[in-house]
Structure formats: structure tokens, C-alpha cells
Structure 1
Amino acid sequence: MSASTRIAGLGVHLPEQVRTTAETERRLREENPGMRLATGLIARMTGVERVHVAPDDWNASDLAAAASRVALAESPGPIDLVVFSAAAQDLVEPATSHIVAAKLGLAAPVMDVKNACNSVLNGMQVADALIRTGQHRRVLVASGEKTSAAVRWRLDRPDQFVPSFPGYVMGDAGAAVILEASDDPEAGIRTSRFVAESKHWAVGTLPGGGTMRPHDLDATYYDMDGAGLQAAFLELGPEPVERMLADAGLAMDDFDLVAIHQVALPYLAPIFERLGVRSDRTVVTVAEHGNIASATLPLQLRLARERGLVGDGSLALLIGLAGGISLGLMVVRL
């Protein structure tokens, strides 16, 4: 049995190619002659200035493997379990974790853990449980989000624009976290809590590849009700966060960093205000990187470390928001 599970390595990969929001709007007009799209509309509504775009011949596993190499360079050593945790995937079968492990040359058991934008948090939750019970000692949790593959550029009907809109500000990225057993009971993952309101599952979908619409080409694009997602999370409210902190005997001012999943800039200030989060203890990523799904929280951790906001011994609160809908909370001592 392990006293705790600590983060031993952290890796993020951001593709070199970027697409500005102005370029996104220009392409939409080119692909859809006669489309009336107000200049700057997407940027005004979301605050997103640009997104990263992976090469056409890259898959989710390539992004995950690139980030994993960074994490493994930071924390060399054997890996005895590979967990691929992302909204994206290479194939329906086999598990994308097999492909990641093969690209990294790792001979270890594998599994996929999938829960939309909370995938990395849930992967860390699973790894923590397996480490604490002695089944594994060093686990690689890897994410590859190639969201650009599901963006609808050609609109057959005007009413397709609104449900496709969130895809225009989603970016590609890879992330990796190495978790390992620690004898320090105060280090690593201190507590976590997950909440789901599954009655809202239909407000944001990417149907392709499942049994509902197995051969429908129209199902390979994002179909999201942005207003419905926002309403669902507002209905959930701050109570789950407040309850977890109360149970753990913590307050927001105890954290050196509060990392939260980000889909649009205008949503952040009301959320931070409602939760009582100080602006100097957050990292805003959505403007420069867009919504990068489950890679968002690892990116914020890395940037916070690079900017000196956190270091060894810092306390971080990770808040994940995902379609379905679900909320993930994790307190980590770095």
C-alpha cells in the first residue's frame, strides 16, 4: 500500500501550427459562399484569439506520445501502466493506449479512461486508486486531443452553424502526467470528488463511431448546445466545490493555483467570482490556445510552474468541467 500518489512528471505538447480566429472566420466564408458572418463575431463571443492545429497525418496518439516523451524526460524510470485519457481516440478498437505504448516502446498493461474534457482527471483518479492499493507504482496518464478533426467547415444548412460553433475555438494538444507511489502522506493527490448530472448528456455530442449512428458521415462533427451546456453547469452551481473544501478543511485562499477547464473567456470571471478565486492564482489559457479539452488542466499546471506561481510543496485545486455533464475536483500537493 502507498501512503500517497504524487505527480512525478508533467508534459505538454502544443503543435507549432496555429490558426487565428480571423483565419477561422475567413475559411468559413470561403467554404460557404454567401454566409453572413459578422467580422470578429467568434472572437467577441469567446475571447479566443487562436488555436493550435496538429499536422494532418497526426492522430490523438501522436499528440499523447509527444507529451509523454516530455514527461518521461522529466521523470525517467519504468512505467508499469499506460492510461490513455482523452475525449479523442485513434480508433473505436483497439484502445488508443495500445498505440501510445507502442509509439513509446513501453511494455506495460494499458487501458483507456474516457470522460470528455474530464478524461485526464478521471485517468489520474484511476491511477491514484491503483497506486494506493499497491497494484502499480508508476503510471503514465496520457491525453491526445485532436479536436480539429471534428470541425464542420462546410455547412449544408444555415442552422448547422450554431451547434458547430464550439468546434471553431477548439484546439489540438497533448498532455501527460506521470504518477508514482510516495511514502509522504502530505504529498501528491490529497482528495478528489466527481459529480455527474447525466440527464444533460445530449446537450453536447460527437456521435460518430458509436452504435447510435455508426455509418452517418454527418455524425463526425461536433453537435453542441453551448447555451444548454452553460445552463447545465450553472444549475450545478458552486455547491460541490464548497462541500469538498469544507470536508477537507480548506478554503480558496489556501491554494497557490486554481486551475479550471476553460471553454470561453467571458465565462471565467463570473465563475471565479462565484467561487471566490483570486485572479492572481489562476492561469488563463483559452485566449491563446482555445478549448483543448482534457489537456487544459495539465497545460495550466505547466504554465503556472514556468511562471513561478507554483513549485514544490504548492497546493493546487484542479476543477474539470465536461460534457455529459460532469464536474471533477482534485486537490494536489505538488
Structure 2
Amino acid sequence: MTSVVLGIGTAVPEKILTNIELESMVDTTEEWILSRTGIEERRIAACAQATSDLALSASKAALEQGGISADQLDLILVATVTPDMIFPSTACILQRALGAVNAGAFDLSAGCTGFVYALTVAEQFLASGKCRYVLIAAAETLSRITNYEDRNTCILFGDGAGAVVLGRGSKPYGIISAYLGADGNGESLLYVPAGGSRLPASPQTVADNLHYIHMQGNEVFKFAVSVIPECIDRVLNQSGMAMEDVDHFVFHQANRRILQTAVKRLGISWEKVIVNLERYGNVSAASIPLALGEAVEDGRIKEGDLIMMVAFGAGLTMGAVLMRWGGAGND
């Protein structure tokens, strides 16, 4: 038995924030943004639009594509760093909105690696026989924690969601191998300092902009380009497959310079890399399922293709999943 994707869905807000608009907000230029990130625009959630709203839209699309009703779900996992509130979990809010009355629900916080973490957790629930259908929604409203006076971060982040329904399948399809890692020594390289038990919200933390994303970009870059090959090597070694066997690489869409450096170090063709960051920017946990969903929809990813998903993010965290696409309906 393997764990296969039965359905996939994506959702993004309507509002687009362009580089030209950012020029009027901070000391930057479109040329500077493009040369350093490759991002042309990003989506911004409406004032009344929460993370769970984006997760709901993506989840409904995934369920519809998979032919699964909400009451068939055994478990809902939401990967996010921007939950609707501290508690209850966004997964429980999504469970209620879907009417998934038979599903357990909880959130995963693994930064931009959240979707890869959630895939690996879901696979274990399916492999153990505890679950038959698991919904994963990776959703973010990073605009809520982005300082639009900080040109180093506001050019990067956007909002969006991607969701998959996982079920039981059979070889050769589904998840083949996976790796999860973390390095807590990098805690302060990418984080929101205030709002938790360590530094509760106060007038001073708000005045000091401590509820926004703080990032040491150069250090995150060095971390990302070093762990991407390591993650890939680990899952390939588990699977007994080689780099040239992989049809598509879906990396976390952080910025183009990270992707280009990683691709060069790996010695793979750029044509094998699924990229959509120019339209959405860095959407944290949602970036991989957003890119994956679009590539499936436009036909780049086909039945039987071997897909390598690799992510890195706050924590610091890293991970990869190797999957053979297809196999829905073969359980």
C-alpha cells in the first residue's frame, strides 16, 4: 500500500500587489526586486479574508477533484505559520467549514517546510491503517505579518493556499520516500519575535514592530542552498533511485536566486524545475502545493511522473518527499 494524491486544489486572493506599487511604498525599484528575487507580483488577502478561508477554497477544489466528500475524511492537517488565531487550530475551523464531522484536525507549524512535513505525517496515518482519507491544506496570509516599511521582507511574501486529499494506492504510485530535518540553532534567522509566551503582545512590542517577520536573508540563503542537495540525496538513497530518474523538481518558491544556485549545484536541467514564484512570491507552506497544482492543471505533470518536492524554512526546518504522480482509484 502507498499514499497517493486523489485530488489537488489551489486558491489565491484576488488582490495583486505589483513591484511598481511597492516602489511607492518603500525605497526599492522593480529592477532591484526582479534581479534579486525573480518576483513580479504577489497576492494579498482581503481585510476580511483569513487563512482558513483560503484553505477552505483550496480544500473544496481538492475534494471535488478527488471525488471525496467531507464526511469521508478521517483527518485534516493544516500547515501554516499564520493561523486564524492562537487557538483553536485553523484545522478545526476548516473542519467545521467543510462539515467534515468524522475527521480529527490539527495544525502543523514547520515554516515553509510545512507541506512536506504534513505529507510525511499523513503518509504515516495512512500506512498504519488509522486513516483512509487525509486532507492537507497548506495556507498562509503572510501579508498580516509583513512589515510594508521593510524593503528586505515586503518584496518577498504573499498569500495563498494549496490542498491535497491523500488516500491509499498501490505501487508504483504515491509517496516513495521522505526526509524531515530541523536545526533549531537557526531560530532567530527567520521568525516573528512577539505574540507568543516568550514575548507576549504589548503596546511596546507593537511599537517595536516585533509582530512582523524578521529575517537574515543572507544566512537563510546559505542554509537553503546547503540543505537542498542533502535532502534530495537522503530521499534518493532511501528509494534506490538516481537524480536523472526525477521528472520534476518542485522546490519551495523562496526566490529565484536560491533556485538557480541549487539547480547549478545539483547539475539538473532548469526545464525540470516547476516555478511560479514570479506571480505569487514566497507563500511559505503553500508554495509547493500551489506550484504542484498549477503544473498538474496545465499538463506539465502527468500520470507516472516522478516528482521531487524539497522545502526549507523557519525553525530552521528542511525536508523532501519523492512521489510517483497518479494512482488515484487504484486502492
In the alignment, what sits opposite 1:204?
190
SS of residue in 1 equivalent to 2:210? helix
SS of residue in 2 equivalent to 1:117? helix
In the alignment, what sits opposite 1:255?
246
In the alignment, what sits opposite 1:16?
14
CA distance in 2, matches of 1:148, 1:302: 22
Among candidates 209, 221, 225, match of residue 216 of structure 2: 225
In the alignment, what sits opposite 2:129?
134
In the alignment, what sits opposite 1:190?
176
SS of residue in 2 equivalent to 1:283? coil
How many corresponding residue pairs? 316
Among candidates 165, 170, 174, match of residue 161 of structure 2: 174
Gaps of 5+ in 2: 326-331
CA distance in 1, matches of 2:262, 2:225: 9
In the alignment, what sits opposite 2:92?
98
In the alignment, what sits opposite 1:323?
314
Among candidates 117, 141, 144, match of residue 146 of structure 1: 141
What letter matches 1:127 in structure 2? A
Do the aligned residues in 1 keep the contact of 2:225 with 2:262 (CA within 8 Å)?
no
Where do 1:283-294 residues align within 5 Å? 283-294=274-285
What letter matches 2:300 in structure 1? L
In the alignment, what sits opposite 2:329?
none
Gaps of 5+ in 1: 29-35, 155-160
Do the aligned residues in 1 keep the contact of 2:249 with 2:307 (CA within 8 Å)?
yes
SS of residue in 2 equivalent to 1:247? helix
CA distance in 1, matches of 2:95, 2:198: 30
Among candidates 20, 42, 46, match of residue 51 of structure 1: 42
Do the aligned residues in 2 keep the contact of 1:200 with 1:232 (CA within 8 Å)?
no
In the alignment, what sits opposite 1:63?
54
Question: Taking structure 2 as the reference length, what is the TM-score of the superposition?
Answer: 0.91
Rate the CA distance shift 1:272–1:70 in 2: closer, same or farther, 3 A. Answer: same
CA distance in 2, matches of 1:111, 1:39: 39
CA distance in 1, matches of 2:141, 2:113: 15
Moved more, 246-255 or 5-14: 246-255
Rate the CA distance shift 1:23–1:240 in 2: closer, same or farther, 3 A. Answer: same
CA distance in 2, matches of 1:219, 1:285: 30
Question: Taking structure 1 as the reference length, what is the TM-score of the superposition?
Answer: 0.90
Percent identity reads 27
Rate the CA distance shift 1:119–1:239 in 2: closer, same or farther, 3 A. Answer: closer
CA distance in 2, matches of 1:39, 1:62: 31
Do the aligned residues in 2 keep the contact of 1:146 with 1:173 (CA within 8 Å)?
yes
SS of residue in 2 equivalent to 1:219? coil
